[in-house]
A and B are shown apart, each in its own frame.
Chain A
Amino acid sequence: MTPGQAVRTVLRYASLSLLLAFFALPLLWLAFAPFDRAPQIAVSLPEFTLDNFRDLLDNENALRSLRNSLLLAAGTGAVVVTLSALAAYALSRVRLPGRDALLYALLLLSSIVTGTAAMVPLFNLAYELDLIDSQLGVILVLSGGLLPSAIFILKDFTDATPRSYEESARVFGASPLQIMRHIVVPVIRPGLATIGVWAVAQVWGNFLIPFLLLRSPDKSPAAVVMYTFYTEGGQPDLALISTFSLLYSLPVVLMFLLVSSRYGFRFHGGIKR
């Protein structure tokens, strides 16, 4: 090895170690504090205990917020998957006038009109429709924002599936809805799973929309309730916050591992050529 190569190797490992430290440092607290008998704000090796989890399981407030998150995520996921599958299939198989222009316009709109820019009218709209402090309102608003991208992605999946199955089913007298249920859905299942996981992850972490539309704490999801743990003045309850954070993070991490092991979580060849 020449001196130049040696220097380069050292530099490479040094920069990788720095990167590791930068990304690991904030996460250490989440790994240690939940298992500590008396968690501090600084990271320290825990005096191991599972008491914090026992306390959390007795905390009705915290558990209810996780159930609310689950309800919002599952509700939005179901709406987005069902409606986007129907729409993507129809748009893929039948040429409706102005289809491509419509899809691109909606996609651009959904990436531009985010919750933050349309906060005021969303609040007004929910008020007019009597959907303030309603979990249904949150589900509808979130679905409206996620649907364009979902349709766009799913249409790619349906475009890529062969039509011969549908044709032969039709020869045997199956109705379009039967074809949809028994042939199309099983074939595009990976696409549906991707959309479902993506929608659930988006909703699970979303703070702004429920923060904007829900008023009563017993309907609020974990993202919002957790925020109140540490802003309501006084000393934050570090044991509760750390344990809750870990439990609240676990589902997205598990979902992510599932998706990446089954479908691979990389951009193959990139998004755009």
Chain B
Amino acid sequence: MATDAAGLGRRRAAVFVAPALLLVAGFLVLPALWTIYLGATDYQLTGLAAADPQFTGLDNARRALDEDEFTHSLGLTLQFVVGSAVLGQALLGFTIAWLLRDRTGPLRRLVEALVLLAWILPSSVVAFLWIALLDRDGGTLNTLLGSGNTAWLVEHPMASIIVFNIWRGTAFSMMLYAAALGTVPPSQLETARLAGASAWQQLRDVVLPLIRGHVLTNLLLISLWTFNDFTPFLLTGGGPGDATETLPVFIYNTALFGGELGYGAALSVLMLLINLVIALVYTRLLRAREKAAS
């Protein structure tokens, strides 16, 4: 309960909160609202429309939905999110947590350390490590597989950034599922085992129902993070052509590189809406689960 032990008083409390709120209002809320406004104009970085942008209403949004570029980019982003986050990071993270669940000692620490290292290194560094790994002339992967001069980032660009992102982000899911598995009472697993349940049946009938809340929270967070991830830009720059131009990269290339600020802002608004939909869907599922539980 809020009891004002230090005798702060409402006025002084407001003074304490004000600086943080001002920064958040200025650099988070205002840009969000500004995006919505700009998205309804023909604002450009240079030229006539830079000096005097005109209000064009929903024209930008209509243009985005009509042009193949946007739907192409959205499709790539969905592949990226489903492939690398929902299927990749979540499944791999759970598998690691499950394999290591009742194990201590150096093997567990080594696996955890390597997975975590991939997660905490700066993105510019890991991007270069992967460029070196996948390089056409003498990259480590080609040397190992004996696959000659395969230019992985050119010939299999989407697969490359999906595998890259699985490698990069699995740590979070691993830690979350390790904690979740710790909340499963051993007695319930023991009972299932005595009743003759196989490992797979224990997993399906005992463990998964108990940790469904964790699974949903995990999927929500990694979906949002992956959806907004700019790191593929460091590997491929969106290329070759537009083969890996996920939405964040597409917006960067359109707005800042191509100078079409108004159109770029409209794309950002569409992206915000999709973010909101993802968040709402998962919150719904979570709430439905809580209701079913009570």
Minimal Cβ-Cβ distance residue in A for B12: A176
Is B138 in contact with A42, judged by CB distance below 8 angstroms?
yes
Write out, one digit per residue, whether chain B residues 183-222 have a CB within 8 A of any chain A CB (1) or not (0).
Answer: 1000000000000000000000000000001100100010
The answer, yes or no, to whether B118 is at the interface (CB within 8 Å) is: yes
Looking at B67-75, B146-154, B265-273, the stretch in contact with chain A turns out to be: B265-273
Q: How many residues of A contact B (CB 8 A)?
A: 96
Is A16 in contact with B111, judged by CB distance below 8 angstroms?
yes
11 further A-B contacts with Cβ under 8 Å, apart from A83-B19, A266-B175, are A26-B118, A27-B129, A40-B138, A112-B224, A112-B276, A114-B228, A119-B255, A120-B256, A147-B28, A205-B122, A270-B176
Is B261 in contact with A90, judged by CB distance below 8 angstroms?
no
Distance of A170 Cα from B120 Cα, bound (Å)? 43
9 examples of A-B residue contacts, CB within 8 angstroms: A16-B107, A87-B21, A115-B230, A118-B28, A144-B27, A147-B24, A222-B122, A245-B129, A271-B214
B63-112 residues at the A interface, CB under 8 angstroms: 92, 95-96, 99, 107, 110-111
Minimal Cβ-Cβ distance residue in B for A251: B122
The answer, yes or no, to whether A50 is at the interface (CB within 8 Å) is: no
Q: What band does the interface of chain B fall in when counting residues whose beta carbon is under 8 Å from A?
A: 35 or more
Q: Known interface pairs A87-B17, A271-B217. Does A170 touch B7 (Cβ–Cβ under 8 Å)?
A: yes
Is B29 in contact with A109, judged by CB distance below 8 angstroms?
yes
Distance of A100 Cα from B43 Cα, bound (Å)? 37
Write out, one digit per residue, whether chain A residues 12-53 have a CB within 8 A of any chain B CB (1) or not (0).
Answer: 100110011011111111100000000011110000000000
Which residue from B7, B99, B138, B272 sits with its C-beta under 8 Å from A113?
B272
The answer, yes or no, to whether B178 is at the interface (CB within 8 Å) is: yes
Write out, one digit per residue, whether chain A residues 236-273 have a CB within 8 A of any chain B CB (1) or not (0).
Answer: 00000100010011001100100000000111111111
What chain B residues lie within 8 Å of A125 (beta carbons)?
A: 26-27, 30-31, 34
What chain A residues lie within 8 Å of B28 (beta carbons)?
A: 106, 109-110, 113, 118, 144-145, 147-148
Minimal Cβ-Cβ distance residue in A for B266: A120
Is A140 in contact with B23, judged by CB distance below 8 angstroms?
yes
By a beta-carbon cutoff of 8 Å, the part of chain B in contact with chain A is 2-10, 12-14, 16-17, 19-21, 23-24, 26-32, 34-35, 38, 92, 95-96, 99, 107, 110-111, 114-118, 120-133, 135, 137-141, 143-144, 167, 175-176, 178-180, 182-183, 213-214, 217, 221, 224, 228, 230-231, 234, 247-248, 251-252, 255-256, 261, 264-265, 268, 271-272, 275-276, 279, 286
Which residue from B6, B111, B116, B272 sits with its C-beta under 8 Å from A112?
B272
Is B30 in contact with A20, judged by CB distance below 8 angstroms?
no
What chain B residues lie within 8 Å of A70 (beta carbons)?
A: none
Distance of A227 Cα from B237 Cα, bound (Å)? 11
The answer, yes or no, to whether A95 is at the interface (CB within 8 Å) is: yes
Task: Classify the secondary structure of A's interface with B.
Answer: helix
